[in-house]
Amino acid sequence: MASQTQSLPEFRNEPMADFSVPVNRRAMEDALQHVRAQFGHEYDLLVGGQRIKTADKLKSVNPSHPSEVVGIHQKATPDLAARAVESAYDYFAQWGSTSPADRVRKVLTAGRLLREHKFEFDAWLVHEAGKTWPEAEADVSEAIDFCEYYAREMQRLSSPPPVFQLPGEKDEMRYFPLGVGVVIPPWNFPLAILVGMTIASLVTGNTVVIKPSSETPTVAAKFAELLLEAGFPDRSFCFLPGSGSAIGDLLVQHPKTRFIAFTGSRDVGLRINELAAKPQKGQRWIKRVIAEMGGKDAIIVDGDADLEKAVDGVAASAFGYQGQKCSACSRAIVDERVYDEFIDRLKKKAEALTVGPAEDPGNFMGPVISEGARRTILQYIDVGSKEGKPVTGGGPAPGDGYFIKPTIIADVKSGARIFQEEIFGPVLAVTKAKNFEHALQLANDSEYGLTGAVFSNTAEHLRQARERFFVGNLYLNRKCTGAMVGVHPFGGFNMSGTDSKGGGPDYLLLFLQAKSIAERVV
């Protein structure tokens, strides 16, 4: 498996465009119009290298303007899902035997194409996922980072470090791909997480069946087109939109599925894990599940914290992308010494945030993803208003999109539903802590363990947080969102998933298996 690719320059994160620069602003405005002109286009399935249409269609809409149809997609049937796995299995031996150097080159080409079409992908994310300009730019930049980082990681793993040598033997360890993977990305990072899981699968030599979210299939279709342009064979992956209830279980349970890479809700992740754990007739392996399943993330504000920085960090973490990040802050746990002042400052900050269509760069918040999501979030706000003290927000924002005002509910007890349950919307519960020890206890009072942050100027408190704040990604004196590939390997504890650490040096090992080889020599 020795690589023949020339050594690559050291990894650097993709710079994000500054939209205050006139040339970038004009380019983004042009991209938004260019993408809008493609609304309503119909996209095919891709199975076994063939483009397929079905009778049943899936329409994705613009959550800022729900009457606008962004894309029309085919709904895969169970028969097509089974055919996709079989096709990927049949092609695996050929794709898995390609040189790592060739796969790395294709991944780097994909990254280059994403960079060349960056504003266009930004625009698709604005229109289909309701991301504001900066949030869309961060999503695409992360997707590019995954291509660049995993290309370098595959180059490293294709020449693994030597093992100790037993006298009289030649000893080595080599990595091999697993087989067919099912990639199930979420709608909230419909490009970055899709790219991360897909590229990790392909660069390691696996074939994949991509089942995109039904909320954002057009972004996924555009990436599938880019993979073909980058030179990936049309049988190395299948593009398979469809209802999770119709094809999801089948893809997971198929005896020729080798692994499932999933990002989404706790309940769906647990079901995937359960189904994958039960071997099917003809299955020859224990399936791997690589899962990231959400969070109920807390930010602790200590009694000596810089309140201005704490308020900015909590607001950005709680209300960026409408709170629809698994890393979003949904619990602020504040020392009683600064509790009232913190709430006053945060209230003013939240009420200054603008809410409206995502294509308007003047808006800090766009829509939530769907009418169903908005209805659920509003129900949680109603529950929370009875569990605590409403501070601001609490209902829909004006407009025909799925808009909700940033909502703060104070005096929330740890047993409250809005303290314990993932809401996935712009709703923040604020809880008073007696001291830092109490704050840590409250922060850890959750079945999740994804991200967390601490604002404090006490070195001992920061030390305690490093050791005892039970999360996969901990941030000190900064917001709890915005993990960077290669810098903050991402994945959580407990019900937040398998702590797979995407964007880190261990991640590709989840898509490979190691073979130890010993040869007796004279």
The predicted-structure confidence for 24-82, as pLDDT tens digits, reads as follows 999 999 999 999 999 999 999 999 999 999 999 999 999 999 999 999 999 999 999 99
Residue-wise pLDDT for 157-172, tens only, equals 999 889 999 999 999 9
How much is the pLDDT for 522?
82
Upper half-sphere CA count for residue 181 (Cβ side, 13 Å): 32
**What is the share, in percent, of the chain residues with pLDDT greater than 70?**
99
Using the structure block, give the residue that is written with the tokens 């007696």.
Answer: 434
How much is the pLDDT for 2?
40
Of 452, 343, 455, 342, residue with least CA distance to 390:
343
Is 42 labeled as catalytic in the residue annotation? no
Residue-wise pLDDT for 205-252, tens only, equals 999 999 999 999 999 999 999 999 999 999 999 999 999 999 999 999
Is 68 labeled as catalytic in the residue annotation? no
Backbone angles phi, psi at 321, to 5 degrees: 45, 40
- Asked if the model's pLDDT at residue 9 lies above 50, the reply is yes
- Asked if the model's pLDDT at residue 460 lies above 80, the reply is yes
- Asked if the model's pLDDT at residue 1 lies above 90, the reply is no
DSSP class per residue in 147-158: HHHHHHHHHHHT
Of 415, 392, 48, residue with least CA distance to 209:
48
- Name the band, by pLDDT with cuts 50, 70 and 90, for residue 512: very high
Cβ-contact 407, 426 below 8 angstroms: yes
CATH number of the structural domain 22-293+499-519:
3.40.605.10
Using the structure block, give the residue that is written with the tokens 């080599």.
Answer: 174
- Asked if the model's pLDDT at residue 507 lies above 90, the reply is yes
- Asked if the model's pLDDT at residue 203 lies above 80, the reply is yes
How much is the pLDDT for 7?
85
Two structure tokens written together for 281: 């007739």
Fold for 297-484, please state it.
Aldehyde Dehydrogenase; Chain A, domain 2 (3.40.309)
How much is the pLDDT for 95?
98
Note the helical H segments in 208-279.
217-229, 249-253, 266-277
Two structure tokens written together for 80: 């097509």
- Name the band, by pLDDT with cuts 50, 70 and 90, for residue 3: very low
Instruction: Exactly one of 128, 148, 153, 292 is catalytic; name it.
Output: 292
Residue-wise pLDDT for 263-291, tens only, equals 999 999 999 999 999 999 999 999 999 99
- Asked if the model's pLDDT at residue 181 lies above 70, the reply is yes
CA torsion 500-506-510-516 (nearest 10°) is -150
Where in the chain are the domains?
22-293+499-519, 297-484
DSSP category for residue 248? I
**What is the share, in percent, of the chain residues with pLDDT greater than 90?**
98
How much is the pLDDT for 4?
43
Residue-wise pLDDT for 83-128, tens only, equals 999 999 999 999 999 999 999 999 999 999 999 999 999 999 999 9
Instruction: Exactly one of 120, 148, 153, 326 is catalytic; name it.
Output: 326
Rounded Cα–Cα distance for residues 237 and 3 (Å): 23
